[in-house]
Structure 1
Amino acid sequence: MGVPLSHEHVASPRRLGPLWTICALVAAFFSLATPSSAAPSAAAPITKPPMGWNSWNSFAGTIDHTVIEQQADAIVASGMKDAGYEYVNIDDGWWTGARDSGGNITVDTAKWPGGMSAITAYIHSKGLKAGIYTDAGRNGCGYYYPTGHPAYPGTGAEGHYDQDFLQFSRWGFDYVKVDWCGGSVEKLDARASYTAISDAITRATAQTGRPMVFSVCEWGGNQPWNWAPGIANLWRTSGDIIYWGERPAMSRVLANFDAAQHASAQSPGHYNDPDMLVAGLSGFSDAQNRTHLSLWAISGAPLIAGNKPSDMSAATRAALTNREMIAVDQDPLGRQGTKVAEDASGLQVYQKVLSGTGRRAVVLLNRTGSAATITARWSSLGLTGSATVRDVWAGADRGTFASSYATSVPAGEAVLLTVTGGDGTPPAGGAITGKQSGRCLDVPNGTSANGTQLQLQDCQGTPGQTWTRTASRQLTVYGTKCLDASNQGTANGTPVVIWDCNGQANQQWTVTANGTITGVQSNLCLDANGQGTANGTKVILWSCNGQPNQQWTAPAA
């Protein structure tokens, strides 16, 4: 029977399939992002999503110096290095011996002649950077779910954080991915464990002068997007994109893409990680490769290839090294694209604000089983006037269009565009505050679940209190959720909730000069229920009456 291809070995709330999970190695050194608990970084953070290659998807635990050297050579020879792929990440299977009496990691020199310092030296000699793998718990993933190589106890980092990460740095590694198999089995506190690891990496860097990118591979069960931006450069948001013995599936690609939609957590140097790429693996077509890469690019996700660079088709090489796609992914603003329209179920428009005046990347995604026309409207993109359109994969300019662009998208595929228009100023975000209560419109407990009813809460500046007014009259939170009249309700008392943005009229609002926020579909006002002013007061729709519990201050459009 098959063993899942990655290391989500223990049940996780975000599990998508068999148990195992691997983190798509990618990250950057610490923590300019979340304020409170972040330790000061000993090195400058990266400012763009990491690009590179990881050994797991193609080789699992069957790796040695020959495998890694061959793939490093191919990354250079294929043009991947010149396109920006710089990390060569050695995943699980590198460590097959017990610790010595001093608790130090031992290495099989038959597999790694000269030890791990020798393999990092080889990688560096090619102008590339080297990545390594470990686990936050006492034992690594291979201990619980063998992958064809001997598994020894004690191959996780718990109890040896300072010792192990200093050793990785001394060996010359530039990147470290930390899995969660042992952490999950031992029921460790994810935030506390990864924070301790972050601190250990900082101390190691202070001693060696070598920074290491830090990739948290917790699988999303403990909502790392809420805490990892302060301690790491990237964090996995879901289970593995492919499991042992399986072929890649677009359903898994889409599921991981959806699970990574946490735009408010992402900023330059800190990235949601939907897992490594399956582009180029057996079973995926060239069109599926392009769709997969389009979704990762619009997300600003790490681009960590998982194929065999030494054995890939010309079409796979062309897709992975497409400079325009990479430029969308690597845009210096570091934004994550968000859904801005869905005129019909499964026909979706995503946009990403790019650096420069009036520049957007757009993905037209057809999740249905039939070809369909999808329209991107400039009003949904925050653009005014006419705009020019370029098809990234075709490498072709499509022309200048007055207010929108429509094209047919094959079933299960995506079109990646860049659009340049007359207004490059993205909408500003901020709090929506009740005039009567002085409290903020709040998503309870920072949840992102569809249907969560909004409330009043003390203003704290959290992501669940940060709203953005879009040109299409939406009020969005977390980048992907919209203020929504529940079930398209138009009656007094209809709960006001968050829901995936879909462009429907029950998600469109008019912010008036007198402070009311009125539903376009219902013509009812946003209302603090029962004129309540206490924390936890529910927010509903009610007939507009001019009372202060219906008056709000909102961010500028």
Structure 2
Amino acid sequence: MWIILALVSGLVTALTVSAAPSSAAAAPITKPPMGWNSWNSFAGAIDHTVIEQQADAIVASGMKDAGYEYVNIDDGWWTGSRDASGNITVDTAKWPGGMSAITAYIHSKGLKAGIYTDAGRNGCGYYYPTGHPAYPGTGAEGHYDQDFLQFSRWGFDYVKVDWCGGSAEGLNARNAYTAISDAIARATAQTGRPMVFSVCEWGGQQPWNWAPGIANLWRTSGDIIYWGERPAMSRVLANFDAAQHASAQSPGHYNDPDMLVAGLSGFSDAQNRTHLSLWAISGAPLIAGNKPSDMSATTRAALTNREMIAVDQDPLGRQGTKVTEDASGLQVYQKVLSGTGRRAVVLLNRTGSAATITARWSTLGLTGSAAVRDVWAGADRGSFTSGYATSVPAGEAVLLTITGTDGAPTGGAAITGKQSGRCADAGSSANGTQVQLQDCQSRPGQAWTRAAAKQLTVYDNKCLDASGQGTANGTAVVIWDCNGQANQQWTVNANGTITGNQSNLCLDATGQGTANGTKLVLWACNGQANQQWTAPAA
């Protein structure tokens, strides 16, 4: 859904820790969802014919084979009517056989089905023009258990929960979405059908700080387009920027900068590729919003490009981050890929003129020679010893995959969790990157050095840091430019704990987690194994 509230997420920069991604409500997915959503192309003018035609086209176009699996029915499917018991009633002229019939049709194509509701009393169609009357009562508030159980019984595999009603009523987003998460968990317990849970709160109440514990994906901004508008690259870039919360993301839990506008009228083929490059480097959900039944060959080729999709769907689940900006608007983003010595890189030119942008191996954590491949050109560019430079057109991006050798640690060693057997990993050298558990490999982000000033350093000049000088339980442990402050000083104790000198709290694997992506925080020392570490020698 589109929504026009002004974003406040960009005004708030304080880092707070995400909840542990352990909610029973979150479906057990391991990669960003891929699929299609009805809103951008049809708004509220949807019925079974529209949905069936697009499901057919997803199969016929090759999108299904490329990984697009969800067919998501957005706002406009429901008139807001309920029976005497409060159960949702459906217009059978629009949906013959009810909603279970449309999910059966979608499933018959080897696809999965998604549905839409709102956290408040009314959905967005009540407040804004959507191509159908402003039906009241199209939200789930007051019926959470009833509605989400109904969705599950109808056969839906994915549910998007918008925030128009919640916003209008001034609800607390964390409380409302947690209650919804609990309702989904109860529904799943009854039906055995987990549903992907998409929080669509638009970023105003910083869902990246709490949604990872209750949902699979969470919107980080308003919509890229409003209904009836043509897409603009400025909006794409704004949503991309608003989704930069890399420490919140891990396998099964994703920042969502909104559904794709690739293939919509007024967006060029080059803009489509740039848009998809940014979403892929982010590991963002790939939810198409064009008409699969009516798209050009170049749009189809872009959406189904297997190398772009592989970058987006990489099993590490990392979000790429900016590593350099040698001149204003000439940016390099890096995403660490699974395996050794593998990176995805986006060279993004935000300026009004073509310019040469350089990716240097030293900033990517690589050493020696590395092979470069241009994803959109489908061409190997050769091997290079220190970096790769190419001209990038104004307002466009180049998407690369680079394969080389992870840089040898400069005297560093791993910090290994006793309970997990995994290493403390800073997946990017960007300030604010939250340290996580990852399989131990020879990566620069796992090579720690104990400095004389009681600092634990990585990437040569980044220090282990208690975010925001926090001293409370749950404070995120990140990396930051070394500055000599007390929140960057640590004591490695004989009992295997690592304590922050400012807080006197222990380095802790959240929730006693042992999986890749488990975030490290500060917590009161308790002697448990998730606070036991093997650290580099002094």
Q: Same fold (TM over 0.5)?
A: yes
Give secondary structure in 2 for the equivalent of 1:88: strand
CA distance in 2 between partners of 1:225 and 1:430 (Å): 27
Shift of 1:436: 8.6
- Given the alignment, which residue of 338, 358, 376 partners 1:375? 358
Offset at residue 35 of structure 1 (A):
3.0
1:136-175 aligned within 5 A:
136-175=119-158
2:471 to 438, 447, 458: 458
Post-superposition offset of 1:101: 1.6
What residue number does 2:513 align with?
none
Secondary structure of 2:332's partner? strand
**1:344–1:119 Cα change, 3 Å:** same
Aligned to 2:208: 225
Deviations 1:225-250 (A, max 9, x none): 00000000000000101112211000
User: Structure 1: which amino acid aligns with 2:471?
Assistant: D
* 2:443 is aligned with 1:425: yes
Out of 408, 413, 429, which is 2:396 matched to? 413
Is contact 1:120-1:171 (8 Å) kept?
A: yes
- The equivalent position to 1:216 in structure 2, one of 165, 183, 199, is 199
Pick from 193, 197, 203 the counterpart of residue 176 of structure 2: 193
**Is residue 5–residue 222 contact of structure 2 (8 Å, CA) maintained in 1?**
no
Give the distance between the partners of 1:284 and 1:222, measured in 2 at CA.
31
Indicate how the Cα distance of structure 1 residues 286 and 301 shifts in structure 2: closer, same or farther if over 3 A, else same.
Answer: same
**% same residue:** 82
User: What is the CA deviation profile of residues 17-75 of structure 1, one whole-angstrom value per residue up to 9, with x for unaligned ones?
Assistant: xxxxxxxxxxxxxxxx8339x5435x861000000000000000000001000000000
Q: CA separation of 1:360/1:100 partners in 2, compared to 1, >3 Å: closer, same or farther? A: same
Deviation, 1:390, is 0.4
Aligned-residue offset at 1:98: 1.7
- The alignment status of 1:348 with 2:331, answered yes or no, reads yes
Letter in 1 for 2:31: K
Return the match for 2:111 from 128, 132, 145.
128
Once the two structures are superposed, what CA deviation does each residue of 1:120-172 show, in whole Å capped at 9, x if it has no partner?
00000000000000000011111111312123222100110000000000000
The answer (yes or no) to whether the contact 1:429–1:466 under 8 Å persists in 2 is: no
Whether 1:75 aligns to 2:93 is no
Following the alignment from structure 1 to structure 2, what is the Cα–Cα distance between the partners of residues 461 and 431?
24
Structure 1 pair 110/395, CA: closer, same or farther in 2 (3 Å)? same
Matched with 1:34 is: 19
Q: Does 1:100 align with 2:100?
A: no
Say if 2:19 is the partner of 1:7.
no
Give the match for residue 160 of structure 2. 177
**371 and 61 in structure 1: CA distance in 2 versus 1, 3 angstrom threshold:** same
1: distance between equivalents of 2:502 and 2:117?
50
Equivalent-residue separation in structure 1 for 2:120 and 2:340 (angstroms)? 47
Measure, in 1, the Cα distance between the counterparts of 2:282 and 2:342. Answer: 16
1:244 maps to 227
- CA distance in 2 between partners of 1:440 and 1:371 (Å): 38
**Equivalence map 1:198-209=2 (5 Å):** 198-209=181-192
CA contact (8 A) 2:449 2:536 kept: no
Deviates more, 1:395-404 or 1:421-430: 421-430
The aligned counterpart of 2:413 is: none
Distance 1:250 1:484, change over 3 A: farther
Please tell me whether residue 87 in structure 1 is matched to residue 70 in structure 2: yes
What is the CA RMSD across the aligned residues, in angstroms?
3.2
- Mapping for residues 254-403 of structure 1, pairs under 5 Å: 254-403=237-386
- Shift of the alpha carbon at 1:385? 1.1
Structure 2 gap segments, 5+ residues each: 12-17, 407-441, 457-462, 493-500, 505-534
CA distance in 1, matches of 2:42, 2:451: 54
Q: Deviations over 1:367-420 (max 9, x none)?
A: 000000000000100111110000000000000000100000000000000001
State the distance in 2 between where 1:47 and 1:313 align.
Answer: 31
| 3-state DSSP of counterpart to 1:422 | strand
- Judged with a 3 Å threshold, the aligned counterparts in structure 2 of structure 1 residues 317 and 103 are, in CA distance, closer, same or farther, namely same
Shift of 1:9: 5.4
3-state SS in 2 of match to 1:405: strand
Aligned to 2:517: none
User: Could you say what secondary structure the match of 1:376 adopts?
Assistant: strand
- Rounded to whole Å, the distance in 2 between the matches of 1:426 and 1:335 is 16
Q: Contact between 1:433 and 1:440, CA under 8 Å: does it hold in 2?
A: no
**Residues 414-458 of structure 1 deviation map (CA, whole Å, 9 limit, x = unaligned):** 0000001111625039999996999984443xxxxxxxxxx4x42
Residues 1:382 and 1:12: Cα distance change in structure 2 (over 3 Å)? closer
Gaps of 5+ in 1: 1-5, 17-32, 445-454, 468-474, 476-482, 486-494, 497-510, 516-531, 536-554
Q: Contact conserved, 1:104 with 1:164, CA < 8 A, in 2? A: yes
Q: Contact 1:10 / 1:184 at 8 angstroms: preserved in 2?
A: no
Match of 1:121, SS state, is helix
Equivalents in 2 of 1:49, 1:409: separation in Å? 28
Does the CA contact (< 8 Å) of 2:73 and 2:114 recur in 1?
yes
Measured in 1, the distance between the counterparts of 2:247 and 2:236 equals: 22
- The amino acid of 2:478's aligned partner reads T
Q: SS state of the match for residue 367, structure 2?
A: coil
1:507-518 pair list within 5 angstroms: none
Instruction: Give how far 1:208 is off.
Output: 0.7
How much has 1:8 moved relative to structure 2? Answer: 1.7
Q: Structure 1 residue 357: deviation in Å?
A: 1.1
Partner Cα distance (1:150, 1:274) in 2? 28
How far apart, in 2, do the equivalents of 1:533 and 1:78 lie? 58
Partner of 1:118: 101
How far, CA to CA, are the matches of 1:430 and 1:228 in structure 2?
Answer: 30
> Is contact 2:71-2:112 (8 Å) kept?
yes
* Counterpart contact for 1:9–1:144, Cα < 8 Å: no
Return the alpha-carbon distance in structure 1 between the equivalents of residues 454 and 404 of structure 2. Answer: 40
Are the equivalent residues in 1 in contact too, given 2:198–2:217 (CA < 8 A)?
Answer: yes
TM-score after normalising by structure 2? 0.78
Q: Is the 8 A contact 1:268 1:333 kept in 2?
A: yes
Residues 460-485 of structure 1 deviation map (CA, whole Å, 9 limit, x = unaligned):
4633x321xxxxxxx4xxxxxxx388
**In 2, Cα distance between the equivalents of 1:431 and 1:200?**
46
Alignment deviations for residues 232-270 of structure 1 (CA, whole Å, 9 cap, x no partner): 000000010111221100000000000000000000000
Q: Match of 1:176, SS?
A: strand
Does the 8 Å CA contact 1:431/1:466 hold for their aligned counterparts?
Answer: no
SS at match of 1:420: strand
In structure 1, distance between residues paired with 2:503 and 2:257: 39
Where in structure 2 are the equivalents of 1:58-69 lying within 5 Å?
58-69=41-52
Letter of the structure 2 residue corresponding to residue 106 of structure 1: T
Which residue of 2 is the match for residue 450 of structure 1? none
